[in-house]
Structure 1
Amino acid sequence: MSRIGKKAVGVPAGVTASLEGQTVKAKGPKGELLFTVPELISVELKDGAVKVDPRDESKLARSLWGMSRTMVSNIFVGVTKGFEKRLEINGVGYKAAVAGKVVKLSLGYSHDVDYAIPEGITIVTPKPTEVVISGIDKQKVGQVAAEIREYRGPEPYKGKGVKYAGEFIFRKEGKKK
């Protein structure tokens, strides 16, 4: 039994939720999102809450059960509060700046890396060494953060590179004479 899947997802105040077949739609102050629940999962909207249950006891249905409930919960959080990821840039001369719809990253290469900001995502740089990515879609925010981090991931010797805020980088000792 899924402990997460058993709980109904309450519709927050200020959010309009609707159910059309297997698609849950949420409209709130920040925007509109939808999630199509897999066919193995039954979904119902009643008493201001969305309840998901597996249609049968197959392994696939039980594994999709908790995920479906979490995805429905994420669309409600997204349209009310939104999601945010913070990146830190460490290294001499490493910095980021937003110029229009492009993030310019100086990451120690012979050229600057230009990253085009996708639709529905907001990127700000409060400091040259900090990047804040925000939006209403949790998957999209995480994907953008991962793509920016991928340009120069943190290395274990000096800790230079792009890392998530609060991420622990396992440090290695250098060569000894």
Structure 2
Amino acid sequence: MKYILILLASFFISNDLHSQDLKFSDLDKSPLDVVMYRDADQSAIARVIYSRPSKRDRTVFGELVPYEQVWRTGANEATEITFYKDVIIADETVAAGTYSIYTVPNEDEWTFILNTDTTQWGTNYNEENNVLKAPMNVTPAPESIESFSITIVDDFDGGTMFMGWDNRIASLNFKVVQP
């Protein structure tokens, strides 16, 4: 009897799910991703939360993402970085905390922007809340990068953040302030 009840319940639940017309194809086209950067002792230094738009046969830089305009640096909500320790970027100390990342792409150099506004929709940019602007190096990607990606790799006394998409890779060095 118990097995018959379980079978009937499974049947009705299954039919109910099919009748709701679930559409996984309607899910976010730019999925969320997280990058954690840790020191040698595995202590957190930085975490980046961002959405990853795809190229999908489009020309990205200069068209989809115009040159010389502030870009949300990803898709959907503003890309967010949390520094768990004070860092130095372009000879300026940035206090531990959470910030939004914006960039201004150009062909040969990008501008990296940290902003105190967080959790907002990515296009809601208020320049008055900028904490830092710093140049980023830009190099051609060795091959086309389909989905926008961010990673951080170890560097002497800190790390280098890389942002890659389409045919470009932008990079920014930072150092961890030593106590």
TM-score (norm 1): 0.21
Structure 1 or 2: larger strand share?
2
TM-score (norm 2): 0.21
